[in-house]
Every structure is written in structure tokens, then in C-alpha cells.
A and B are shown apart, each in its own frame.
Chain A
Amino acid sequence: MDFNSSRYILRQGFVSLKRNIWLSLTSILTVTISIVLLGSSIIFLANIESIAKTLESQLQIGVFLDDQLLNTQITDIQNEIKGISGVSTVTFTSKEQAIVDFQKSLRITSLLEDLDGVNPLPDKITIVANNPNLVQGIAAQVQKISGVGDVSYGHGILEKLIAFTNWLRWIGVAVVAVFGFASLLLISLSIKTNVYSRGKEIQIMRLVGASNSLVRWPFIIEGLIIGLLGALIAMIIIGFSFFWLQHSILGSLAFIPVVTGLQFILQVLAVMLLTAMIMGALASVFSVRKFLHF
């Protein structure tokens, strides 16, 4: 592509955008709506994922140790547990600490005296797994360690919780898939209308001997600009809503584990921008191709 043609293409992309101003505005607005849908569904998915993760991280394995173990034995057991793959954190709670915690939860102070000074609670190790699916296996391995008494991990509840969080994730993915597909469809339809309405122009370009790339490129530039402008508006909308919602949720509903953070929202905005521009350009290429059959 020589200099004259490149200049023509660039100029032409902008000029036709301006001359078909209403069509361009409609396309830009369509892109905005589609990309807002896409962006909010991604944020929705991220939050679903975060809620599921939080729920799952509350799945713990309680390991109750036999009485009369030496401190070194307890340390050995802890180390052994740490060595099991899939174990995230290991916390030791001594029986003395356990009774204090228990008293606190019962809101009394005289429990130990009531029990004649005999602490019936065992030493306890709390394990958090990397992944809830590993909980059962870890529990089984821990059970085999000598010095370990009971191992409890919410048998029954575990399966239900995993089923529930998986189901949550599927909803999130389905929402992104549906909205993502809808927005891609909307953008490509809109660009297609834009290109088709200028079929005559393309026909004439071909008649006077324009090469295929010279017909195609102004439309690609136009598609990129439409994608860019549409995405910019969508980014402003999503960006502001995100910070506003984050602020109000953190202020009033702090127990909901919302996804926050500048990096996260920047990534979402980047995905939105790229999707819009790539779709704009691709839709142009495919729409123009219809007219380039010889």
C-alpha cells in the first residue's frame, strides 16, 4: 500500500463516519450498550466466583488430637499435615485455648471450675484446603497419622456446598456467554447495516478499479473508530458504576465478598475496549467481503 492510498484510506475512514453521521451514531450507541452488557456480566461473574471462593474457604477440616501427646509430637503431626498436597493453612489450637474460646462463645467464665478443673476438650488442628474437592482426601490421609483422634470436615454439607458453588459458577459463566454472544451479535449486525447501506459505493469503487484492500480498509478504520468510541462511553459508564457500587456495598453490606480493586476494573475495561475494537474491525471485514466476490 503506497503513501497516497494509505492517506486516502485514513481520511476516507473518518470522512464517511462523518458523512453518515446518524448511522455512525447508531452503531456507536449499539456498541456502547453491548459492551456495557459484556462488562457488567464479567463483573457479575467475578463476584460470583468471589462469593463461591469465600464460601468454600470456610470449609475446614478439624483434627482432634489424642490426649497426652508431647509438644514435639504435636509439631511432627503439624509438619506431616503441611506436607500433604492441597493443604493451604494449618492452625493449632491448644486445649487450653479451646476451652477459653468455648467459654467465650457460651458467654460464661466459670466453665473450667464447673468441670472441676478437668478440661474435656482435645487439642485441635484446623486445616484449610486449597480446593474443596480435596477436603475428603486430605481428611482420609490425616486420619492415618498416629496421634490423630477424630477428623471432622462437615461430611454431607461439603457435597452440598460444592454443588451449590459449582451451580453459582455455571450461572456466572452462562450470563457472560449469553451477554457476550448478544453483544457480539449486536455489534456485528450494526456494522453490517453500516456497510450494506453503502453497497452502491463499494460497487462503484470496484467498477473504477479499486483493489480489494482499498475497498476494505476504510471500512476497517471506520469499524475500529466505532468500536473505540462506543467502548469509551461504555468504559465511562461501567467505571463510574463500579466505583459507586463498590463504595455503597462496602459501606452497607460489608459481609458480601465483592470484588474490588483498581487492577481488576482496569482489566475489565481493557477487555471491553479490545472486544469492541476487534469486533468492529472483524465485522467490517466480513461485511465488506460480501461485496468483494468476483
Chain B
Amino acid sequence: MIKLRNVSKIYPNGARALQNINLEIAKGEFVFLVGSSGAGKSTLIKLLYREETATRGQVLINNTNLGRINNHLIPMIRRNIGVVFQDFKLLPKKTVFENVAFALQVIGKDRKNIKENTLNMLELVGLSNKVNVFPTELSGGEQQRVCVARALVNSPSLLIADEPTGNLDVDTAWGIMNLLDKINKYGTTIVMATHALHIVEQMNRRVIRVEEGKITEDRVEEAFRVGF
């Protein structure tokens, strides 16, 4: 699904964000990306949805080299990737329904299809009763569930989450994690960057640690424990 070969990223200001990263993530995996702030997690995530391009090396998603594709094909790549952020990025002037439906409107689906898929998705994330509410009237956890719904409504094969629980309290965070777990069981590959080590511990999935732009740890063990 995802392959990174000898990937380095140097920003125009000279900052070396990633150095010689080699990584493979299979379809259906649930992978945590951990590491201190500024270690390169976000850069790595941005490479995956083609917000940034690698300075050296190859980023392949479903065998498509993201560094080689034409700019006008980027939207096509994005349609197969759902993205969830710490700060939600919801449109405040659109209702919950409209925010989710937006992802289908922009790819040219017809109204019937949009309505059906959006309502199904909102049911999956447990927001059937908040369909016509505006984001500002929702709790943080509810807002993040709207984001997850939006990211998944056009059935992408990959979900990327950049600290999705960063702004949520522990209970709400677990609500989101259970939701992601459920989605992963339906077959969506998930890559999630996080600082929440208690979540990483309990979820017991593959963990990739990035420090100073390099992968320092890649563990699949069940008994993963934070060593320090």
C-alpha cells in the first residue's frame, strides 16, 4: 500500500526533516507514528497525501510514485486518502451534513448518492441526531467524528490522522480510537501520528518511532512498552 524508499526531505529553508527513510505499510494495517515534536512525523504524513514532495527518494502509494505525478492528478490521489487533523478543519458555515457531503460534492457525485452516503457515514460515527447542527454547537469529540466521517465518506483505502486526539480529553479520545479501530476492521489502512502514549500502549498495534528525521524503532510486538 505505502512504500517509502530512501526518502529524504529538506525544506527550502535548509531544515532536514527526514533522512533516508525506508518504510513499508501493508493494506489493512493500523500504524502509529510516534516521536517528539519536530521529529519529522508531520512531514512524513504530508508526504503521504502529497502536501509535500520528497527531496530525494520515492514515495509510492498503491504503486503510484507521488513525486512523479502530474499536478492535476493530485486531486485524484487525494480522493483515495482520507485525512483527519488535530484541529478538525471543519467549515463553520456549513452544517454537519454539508461538511461531510462536501467531500462528495467536490468529486461530482449526484445528490441522491451524496445524501445516502453522508447519512450512512454519520450513522457509523454516531452523529445521526446532529445532522443539521453547525460545528460550533458540537463538542470536540463530536467535531472530530464529523472529520472522520468526512475523511471516510468517499471510501478511501487509506486514512491518515495527524494527532486526531490531540485536542480531546481521555474519554473522548478513546471514543475516536474505537471508531478508527472499527473502520480499520472494515479494511481501511490507518496511519496515525500521535503523542498519546497511553493510546499507543493499549491499542497494541505496529508502532514506528521517528526521531530527528530517522526511523529509530519499528515494532509490532504485542508487549510494546515505552522504555523511558
Q: Which A residues are within 8 Å of any B CB, using their own CB?
A: 2, 4-5, 8, 19-20, 200-201, 203-212, 214-215, 294
Which residue on chain A has the smallest CB distance to residue B53? A294
Q: Which of A8, A201, A203, A204 contacts B108 (CB 8 A)?
A: A8
Q: Inter-chain contact count A-B, CB under 8 Å? A: 59
A210 near B107: Cβ-Cβ < 8 Å: yes
A210 near B106: Cβ-Cβ < 8 Å: yes
Q: Report the minimal beta-carbon distance from A78 to chain B, rounded to whole angstroms.
A: 72
- A-B contact list, 7 entries, CB within 8 Å: A204-B89, A204-B91, A207-B83, A211-B75, A211-B106, A212-B75, A294-B71
B89 near A200: Cβ-Cβ < 8 Å: yes
A208 near B102: Cβ-Cβ < 8 Å: yes
Task: Indicate whether A8 sits within 8 Å of B103 (C-beta atoms), given known contacts A207-B49, A208-B150.
Answer: no
Considering the chains assembled together, what is the distance between the CA atoms of A205 and B108 in angstroms?
13
Interface: B76 (CB within 8 A): yes
B206: chain A residues within 8 A (beta carbon) = none
Considering the chains assembled together, what is the distance between the CA atoms of A209 and B151 in angstroms?
10
Considering the chains assembled together, what is the distance between the CA atoms of A204 and B90 in angstroms?
8
- Known interface pairs A4-B111, A208-B102, A209-B78; 7 further A-B residue pairs with C-beta atoms within 8 A, sorted by A's residue number: A8-B108, A20-B93, A201-B91, A204-B89, A206-B78, A208-B79, A209-B76
Q: Which of A20, A200, A203, A214 contacts B106 (CB 8 A)?
A: A214
Q: Which 8 A-B pairs have the closest CB atoms?
A: A210-B106, A209-B79, A209-B78, A208-B103, A5-B108, A211-B75, A209-B75, A4-B108
B91 near A208: Cβ-Cβ < 8 Å: no
Which residue on chain A has the smallest CB distance to residue B102? A208
Task: Indicate whether A209 sits within 8 Å of B106 (C-beta atoms), given known contacts A294-B50, A294-B71.
Answer: yes
Number of contacting residues on B, CB 8 A?
Answer: 26
B91: chain A residues within 8 A (beta carbon) = 200-201, 204
Interface: B74 (CB within 8 A): yes
Q: Report the minimal beta-carbon distance from B114 to chain A, rounded to whole angstroms.
A: 9
B89 near A211: Cβ-Cβ < 8 Å: no
| Residue interface bits B52-89, CB-to-A below 8 A is 1, else 0 | 00000000000000000001101111111001000001
Q: Which of B76, B77, B106, B111 contacts A205 (CB 8 A)?
A: B106
B75: chain A residues within 8 A (beta carbon) = 206, 209-212
A200: chain B residues within 8 A (beta carbon) = 89, 91
Interface: B109 (CB within 8 A): yes
A207: chain B residues within 8 A (beta carbon) = 49, 78, 83, 89
B102: chain A residues within 8 A (beta carbon) = 204-205, 208
Interface: B110 (CB within 8 A): yes
Interface: B37 (CB within 8 A): no
Considering the chains assembled together, what is the distance between the CA atoms of A19 and B93 in angstroms?
7
A204: chain B residues within 8 A (beta carbon) = 89, 91, 102
B139: chain A residues within 8 A (beta carbon) = none
Considering the chains assembled together, what is the distance between the CA atoms of A203 and B77 in angstroms?
15
A209 near B107: Cβ-Cβ < 8 Å: yes
B106 near A208: Cβ-Cβ < 8 Å: yes
Interface centre among B49, B72, B83, B105 (most CB of A within 10 A): B105
B109 near A4: Cβ-Cβ < 8 Å: yes
Residues facing A in B85-135 (CB within 8 A) are: 89, 91, 93, 102-103, 105-111
A2 near B108: Cβ-Cβ < 8 Å: yes
Q: Report the minimal beta-carbon distance from B9 to chain A, rounded to whole angstroms.
A: 15
B150: chain A residues within 8 A (beta carbon) = 208
Q: Report the minimal beta-carbon distance from B81 to chain A, rounded to whole angstroms.
A: 8
A211 near B110: Cβ-Cβ < 8 Å: no
Q: Report the minimal beta-carbon distance from A9 to chain B, rounded to whole angstroms.
A: 10
Q: Report the minimal beta-carbon distance from A2 to chain B, rounded to whole angstroms.
A: 5
Q: Which of A4, A209, A294 contacts B110 (CB 8 A)?
A: A4
B83: chain A residues within 8 A (beta carbon) = 207
Considering the chains assembled together, what is the distance between the CA atoms of A208 and B76 in angstroms?
10
Which residue on chain B has the smallest CB distance to residue A19? B93
A215: chain B residues within 8 A (beta carbon) = 106
Considering the chains assembled together, what is the distance between the CA atoms of A20 and B50 in angstroms?
31
B76: chain A residues within 8 A (beta carbon) = 209
Considering the chains assembled together, what is the distance between the CA atoms of A210 and B107 in angstroms?
6
Which residue on chain B has the smallest CB distance to residue A215? B106
Q: Report the minimal beta-carbon distance from A178 to chain B, rounded to whole angstroms.
A: 38
